Amino acid sequence: MAQTGRSRSILDIKASHLMSTAVSPLAPTSVPELPVIDGVRLATAAAGIRYQGRTDVLLALFDKGTTVAGVFTKSKCPSAAVDWCRAKLKKGVARALVVNSGNANAFTGKTGKTATALTAKIASSATGGSADQIFLASTGVIGEPLDATKFNGVLDDLAQKAEPGGWNEAARAIMTTDTFPKLATRTVKLGKAKVTINGIAKGAGMIAPDMATMLSFVFTDAPISATALQALLKSGVEDTFNAVTIDGDTSTSDTLLAFATGTATNAPKITRASDPRLKAFVKAFRAVLADLAEQVARDGEGARKLVEVLVEGATSKNSARKIAMSIANSPLVKTAIAGEDANWGRVVMAVGKAGEPANRDKLAIYFNGVRVAHKGMRDPSYDEVEVSSLMRQPKITIKVALGLGKGRDRVLTCDLTKEYVAINGDYRS
Amino acid sequence: MAQTGRSRSILDIKASHLMSTAVSPLAPTSVPELPVIDGVRLATAAAGIRYQGRTDVLLALFDKGTTVAGVFTKSKCPSAAVDWCRAKLKKGVARALVVNSGNANAFTGKTGKTATALTAKIASSATGGSADQIFLASTGVIGEPLDATKFNGVLDDLAQKAEPGGWNEAARAIMTTDTFPKLATRTVKLGKAKVTINGIAKGAGMIAPDMATMLSFVFTDAPISATALQALLKSGVEDTFNAVTIDGDTSTSDTLLAFATGTATNAPKITRASDPRLKAFVKAFRAVLADLAEQVARDGEGARKLVEVLVEGATSKNSARKIAMSIANSPLVKTAIAGEDANWGRVVMAVGKAGEPANRDKLAIYFNGVRVAHKGMRDPSYDEVEVSSLMRQPKITIKVALGLGKGRDRVLTCDLTKEYVAINGDYRS
């Protein structure tokens, strides 16, 4: 694909790929070592889709019998790859996953559809799986045709060199404006067998509810049917990826796929998500999703503080979610956090605008555990020095107690800083 | 009210009152001269509610027979003044309006209610109208009790010195983070009589749909019943104040009140909004609301560009509004405009996340009249140099043609700049 200076600034949905060279101050202090998952082999390459001097293609190969499930952006203008995966998910069988960064293949019209078909065909020929069993994800520039012929040869090489392991390299190959690779793992018993769940993700900006994943891929050796895996995934995202918001914007490409190779020795075959033997697995599966989702929030564009919004005492969980999202997406709340200001007035404002049941005179608001307002007024007893000190911490928890019912929820976000504007504003002048 | 250093940063919903000393570059080049409206007298004072060295109280006195209508924030946590006005609106009669800046009397519990009653009582005694005919609005700090005894004496003085005219001073007295006073006027025929419509407004941040006015007051000498005036106001805000968004946040205090003195000589008495004689008046009334609403957008916090979002070809006007608001509230679109980047990929994203009917492959997108994308792809014919030049203009029009139906709508917003973050972030460190 010719990379012209002309198209760059106009077409790049993230004009400043790789401009954030500094790692987010909220990054985890260590990157986990992900164990091998039997039946999964990985390889990455620098195909020059857009970036120079870094990997931009990930190929994951799966053994026969691997099931797949997926959830996607709710955008009405999804990318061609999202369309492709949705269609192929019906059979629930996967032999390979091809992910590229640098070009989202979104808003590319018929050429986008052609590009997905060609990519799948090349991958099919390279890996031996049928094209219907190839899953695709693309992230990067929007509106620029993806030249799938670039995958010619590249995918053959990757299929040759794919090996168990290499998770860190895989997580790096799918990054765009991310400042650190995102990985998580859990090991847990399924029946008497030990099974593993590994996950990788990329995020940064444009993270919002309604399938808030950006790109994330989860892999397990547990033998779980596609139907059961789909149910696990759908319920799993609700309080993890769908409870993260950076700026309220939703990508055209958000994709979360889960693959189960079924290769774990002596593990019972699971066909229903409600199977009681799944209990520990479900917990671990959600922990992986939650871990990755939190890492996405920690890498929000320009983020300097991780913000946890807890809402309790709402009339329902759904109502609590709406109020929590209203707070988490409020530019005034987010700029106050950036300014280390325990500005509960703005929290009241965000509660009020959510449109959900709330009684001003029953509201209580806490910042990092200190009650600053209750019964519709400032709490006269709180210590300003203490609160000011707490607001300097890298993680801020805003708790709102509505005093109406038992509905509660939790949402993660980050602060809104000048760096966010700089990253996305691409100031030319 | 004692102004302690302690409460300032915690309680101030706009921590940086008056910090923006520079006038918005989008301010109108001239301030209109508003004519006298018979039956309206105005006076302002510096009562020291919060600010030093500026006026912060406005008293408007109305002759007997003045009708009133109002629309308010949809916040579930409205200010005490909003509660007061809603209750008093039922009778539809007004003798006075008291507005203070510096303290919003919001989230102040029972003391807030007491403060509104006391303010109305003092105003009643000063003006001779019954307390039920006194309308109130407050803007400024949230959560800080409003010491209504401050109005003792002040309102007496104001009632004494109130005079026809003084609109500019009135508009200045209600400002908070505004960088310029907002005034509009139209003169029009009603029957054979000449009638006048004057309006003032304050805005800046926290401007969003669902009654997006902040504070605005409109005055006319036309003899219009309260019921008819309410209908005019309700329909009038739909495409004016409710079609403006700065940051998607909604104040607890948003208030728009309209007063009709009925003093215009020989004007026909109007009792129904559908009265055909009102046609020219309705047009002028909406023009005043639209003028004020645009001034609010032009004074968005940190705004450097006025952004007009036009959506056409939607399945309905309501659908077009939702899509336009999704674009206007998108931080990624707004930062791109700040960066003078015709980033239509982000516009596609915002269309997609609105959840309304949209067909990727029928979308066309224009920036300041130049089509940059159509039929789901980049428009190969547009001239990048021309578009880059157009993006440097102070007003940017984004037009989205959906190609589905006849629904169209228009929304005004501004760009999202580092200055917005600075104004609202109150960076302490």
User: What SS3 state is found at B298?
Assistant: helix
Q: Which of A52-56, A312-316, A374-378, B247-251 has the lowest mean pLDDT?
A: B247-251
**Both tokens assigned to A105:** 């293949």
Q: What per-residue confidence (pLDDT) applies to B392?
A: 94
Q: For tokens 């408007």, what's the residue?
A: B60
Q: How many CB pairs under 8 A join A and B?
A: 285
Instruction: Look at residue A44 and tell me whether its pLDDT is greater than 80.
Output: yes
Q: What per-residue confidence (pLDDT) applies to B205?
A: 54
Low-confidence residues in chain B, pLDDT < 50: 1-20, 206-213, 427-429
**Residue of chain B with shortest Cα separation from A347:** B13
CATH number for A306-426: choose from 3.30.420.10, 3.20.20.80, 3.10.20.340, 3.40.50.1220. Answer: 3.10.20.340
pLDDT in tens, A385-396: 899 899 999 999
Neighbours of B330 (CB within 10 A): 27
B251, B355, B418: residue with CB nearest A421: B418
**CATH 3.10.20.340 domain extents, chain A:** 306-426
**Nearest in space to A151 (alpha carbons), one of A21, A223, A49, A220:** A49
Residue pair A83/A70 in contact by the 8 Å Cβ criterion:
no
How far apart CA A409 and CA B261 sit, in angstroms, is 50
Spell out the alpha helix ranges (H) of A52-175. 80-88, 109-127, 154-161, 167-173
**Residue of chain B with shortest Cα separation from A104:** B345
Neighbours of B63 (CB within 10 A): 14
Q: Does B424 show up as a binding residue in the annotation?
A: yes
> Would you tell me which residues 353-372 of chain A have a C-beta closer than 8 angstroms to some C-beta of chain B?
353-358, 360-361, 363, 372
**Both tokens assigned to A333:** 């709340």
How far apart CA B94 and CA B63 sit, in angstroms, is 9
Q: What per-residue confidence (pLDDT) applies to B21?
A: 55
Q: What per-residue confidence (pLDDT) applies to A205?
A: 54
Residue pair A317/A225 in contact by the 8 Å Cβ criterion:
no
Residue pair B171/B34 in contact by the 8 Å Cβ criterion:
no
Query: Average pLDDT of A57-80?
Result: 93
Instruction: Look at residue A6 and tell me whether its pLDDT is greater than 70.
Output: no
Strand partners of residue B256: B71, B216
Q: Does B319 show up as a binding residue in the annotation?
A: no
In Å, how far is A66's CA from the nearest CA of chain B?
32
Q: Which of A109-118, A194-203, B274-283 has the lowest mean pLDDT?
A: A109-118
**Both tokens assigned to A178:** 């991310």
Q: What per-residue confidence (pLDDT) applies to B204?
A: 63
Active-site position among B213, B240, B245, B263: B213
Instruction: Look at residue A211 and tell me whether its pLDDT is greater than 60.
Output: no
Q: Is B187 exposed, middle or buried (0-12, 13-18, 19+ CB in 10 A)?
A: exposed
Mean pLDDT of chain A: 87
Q: What per-residue confidence (pLDDT) applies to B101?
A: 86
Neighbours of A405 (CB within 10 A): 15
What is the dotted CATH code of the domain comprising B40-299?
Answer: 3.60.70.12
Query: Average pLDDT of A353-364?
Result: 89
Q: Does B116 show up as a binding residue in the annotation?
A: no
Query: Average pLDDT of A7-15?
Result: 35
Q: Does B429 show up as a binding residue in the annotation?
A: yes
Contact B77 A358 (CB under 8 A): yes
pLDDT in tens, A14-23: 433 334 458 8
Q: What per-residue confidence (pLDDT) applies to B308?
A: 96
Q: What per-residue confidence (pLDDT) applies to B144?
A: 80
Q: What per-residue confidence (pLDDT) applies to A190?
A: 97
Q: What per-residue confidence (pLDDT) applies to A209?
A: 32
**CATH 3.60.70.12 domain extents, chain B:** 40-299
Q: Is A221 exposed, middle or buried (0-12, 13-18, 19+ CB in 10 A)?
A: buried
DSSP A270: B
Q: For tokens 């919903």, what's the residue?
A: B13
**Residue of chain A with shortest Cα separation from B4:** A384
Q: What per-residue confidence (pLDDT) applies to A3?
A: 30
Residue pair B373/B334 in contact by the 8 Å Cβ criterion:
no
Give the CA angle between residues A150, A151, A156 to the nearest 5°.
Answer: 140
pLDDT in tens, A306-322: 999 999 999 999 999 99
How far apart CA B188 and CA B181 sit, in angstroms, is 24
